[in-house]
């Protein structure tokens, strides 16, 4: 009730101010049409242009200073460095061009503002000028596109020549499941029509396929550092997107087809937790959580950095909660963990 009263008062105040403004306008005797800009109006608009120029530069610098620390830490994949370099160069070019063009736009908007008796000069065309402002963007954009295509080709180099680890990421509303190819490093055939919840066959794996016997199904993704991983991605229901930000990796998971992505982890979870920027982020986050805990807010337990797999396509009401923990570890630790997991054949035998 209090909120309704406050809103009603605000509306009435706004109406009163509007009416007073109309009365003030009617009481003024104007010798000229107020809808036509005069020299004073143009001068004020010129000053406002400069103020807006200062504002957009100020907010940009402030954003880099204030929120730059929230950017992702060092890339933890072999291709991540090249990806970040391409992104950085693109941002530098965009920022430089934006700064130059906006500065010229606002400066000339003020310098050549409308004044009584001043006539604008008009050029029908200027071939040299048009050539310059066309060829420079063409060269820059062509360079970025070619560099981007080269980088994309390297990232999408999915082959079996380097003895990669084969892992399937299975997406469904609203969780992830990972399937390892087992000792033979070959995934068994699967189809959503073969899903049988009663038999714990949640991925629709073909039980008659011999390659499927040693497949391992888990809810936490473990990866060995320094070894290439080829991901096969499927979706059970709608369009999802497997997004692993710390590895600079993302690929859509499309119902009815298998998509692929490949990368090599280069930094273990334990080593990443020791990175200065990660340590600072953990401290800031835990300080905020401590304040919330003191205020009685739930879910304010101390946080520790982990790699994470997210869904980057809005896939439904619980999309925000669709994630999986990723652990990157040494080969010996990974092999020990893998040996402790049940195979698909063992799981099927236990439910029969």
What is the predicted pLDDT for the residue at 176?
A: 95
Could you tell me what percent of the chain has a pLDDT over 90?
30
Say whether both 143 and 175 belong to one domain: no
**How many CB atoms are closer than 10 A to CB 13?**
10
Backbone phi and psi for residue 230, each to the nearest 5 degrees, phi listed first: -100, 115
Say whether both 105 and 170 belong to one domain: no
What is the predicted pLDDT for the residue at 289?
A: 80
Asked whether the predicted pLDDT for residue 213 surpasses 60, the reply is yes
Say whether both 77 and 199 belong to one domain: no
Task: Please state the rounded mean pLDDT for residues 126-154.
Answer: 86
Task: Please state the rounded mean pLDDT for residues 9-14.
Answer: 76
pTM of the model as a whole: 0.76
Structure tokens at 192: 């959503």
Mention every residue, 6+ apart, whose C-beta is less than 8 A from residue 121. none
Residue with tokens 């100020």: 58
Domain range holding 269? Answer: 165-351
Say whether both 224 and 147 belong to one domain: no
Q: Give Cα 72 to chain centroid, integer Å.
A: 10
Say whether both 172 and 278 belong to one domain: yes
What is the predicted pLDDT for the residue at 77?
A: 93
Say whether both 233 and 304 belong to one domain: yes
Number of domains in the chain: 2
Asked whether the predicted pLDDT for residue 239 surpasses 80, the reply is yes
What is the predicted pLDDT for the residue at 2?
A: 66
Backbone phi and psi for residue 310, each to the nearest 5 degrees, phi listed first: -120, 160
Cα–Cα distance measured from residue 178 to residue 201, given in angstroms and rounded to the nearest whole number: 13
What is the predicted pLDDT for the residue at 228?
A: 92
The answer to whether the CB of 239 falls within 8 A of the CB of 252 is yes
Could you tell me what percent of the chain has a pLDDT over 70?
92
Cα–Cα distance measured from residue 162 to residue 179, given in angstroms and rounded to the nearest whole number: 20
Say whether both 147 and 185 belong to one domain: no
The answer to whether the CB of 264 falls within 8 A of the CB of 229 is yes
**How many CB atoms are closer than 10 A to CB 110?**
17
Candidates 291, 289, 284; CA nearest to 302 is 289
Indicate the range of 89-98, 107-116, 247-256 predicted with least confidence: 107-116
The answer to whether the CB of 311 falls within 8 A of the CB of 322 is yes
Give residue-wise pLDDT tens across range 141-200.
899 899 988 888 888 877 777 789 999 999 998 899 999 988 888 888 888 888 877 677
Give residue-wise pLDDT tens across range 218-238.
999 999 999 999 999 999 989
Q: How far is CA 212 from CA 217, 224, 287, 341, 342, in A?
A: 11, 22, 47, 15, 13
What is the predicted pLDDT for the residue at 43?
A: 79
Mention every residue, 6+ apart, whose C-beta is less than 8 A from residue 141. none
* Sheet-wide strand order for 240-244: 221-224, 323-329, 307-311, 240-244, 249-253
Say whether both 227 and 337 belong to one domain: yes
Give residue-wise pLDDT tens across range 51-62.
888 888 888 888
Say whether both 304 and 188 belong to one domain: yes
What is the predicted pLDDT for the residue at 13?
A: 77
Say whether both 172 and 193 belong to one domain: yes
The runs of H, that is alpha helices, within the chain are 2-27, 39-67, 80-111, 127-155, 269-272, 276-294, 331-339, 344-351
Mention every residue, 6+ apart, whose C-beta is less than 8 A from residue 8. none
Say whether both 232 and 279 belong to one domain: yes
What is the predicted pLDDT for the residue at 165?
A: 92
**CATH number (domain holding residue 227):** 2.60.40.420
Say whether both 75 and 224 belong to one domain: no
């Amino acid at each position: 009730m209090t909120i309704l009263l406050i809103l009603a008062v605000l509306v009435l105040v706004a109406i009163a101010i509007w009416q007073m403004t109309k009365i003030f306008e009617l009481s003024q005797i104007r010798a000229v049409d107020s809808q036509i800009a005069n020299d004073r109006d143009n001068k004020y608009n010129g000053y406002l242009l400069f103020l807006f120029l200062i504002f957009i530069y100020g907010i940009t610098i402030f954003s880099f200073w204030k929120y730059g620390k929230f950017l992702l830490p060092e890339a933890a994949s072999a291709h991540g460095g090249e990806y970040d370099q391409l992104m950085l160069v693109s941002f530098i070019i965009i920022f430089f061009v934006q700064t130059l063009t906006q500065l010229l736009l606002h400066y000339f908007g003020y310098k050549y503002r409308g004044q009584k008796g001043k006539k604008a000069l008009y050029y029908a065309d200027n071939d040299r000028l048009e050539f310059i402002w066309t060829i420079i963007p063409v060269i820059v954009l062509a360079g970025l596109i070619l560099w981007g295509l080269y980088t994309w080709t390297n990232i999408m180099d999915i082959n079996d020549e380097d003895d990669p680890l084969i892992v399937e990421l299975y997406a469904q509303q609203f969780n992830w499941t990972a399937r390892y190819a087992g000792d033979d490093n070959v995934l068994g055939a699967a189809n959503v029509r073969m899903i049988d919840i009663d038999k714990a066959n949640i991925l629709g794996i073909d039980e008659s396929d011999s390659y499927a016997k040693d497949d391992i199904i888990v809810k936490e993704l473990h990866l060995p550092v320094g070894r290439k991983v080829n991901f096969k991605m499927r979706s059970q229901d709608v369009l999802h997107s497997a997004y692993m930000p710390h590895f600079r990796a993302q690929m859509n998971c499309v119902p009815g087809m298998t998509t692929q992505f490949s990368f090599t982890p280069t930094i273990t979870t334990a080593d990443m937790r020791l990175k200065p920027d990660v340590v600072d982020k953990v401290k800031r986050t835990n300080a905020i959580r401590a304040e919330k805990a003191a205020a009685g807010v739930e879910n304010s337990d101390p946080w520790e950095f982990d790699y994470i797999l997210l869904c980057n396509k809005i896939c439904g009401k619980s999309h925000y909660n669709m994630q999986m923990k990723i652990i990157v570890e040494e080969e010996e630790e990974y092999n020990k963990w893998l040996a402790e997991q049940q195979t698909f054949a063992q799981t099927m035998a236990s439910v029969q």
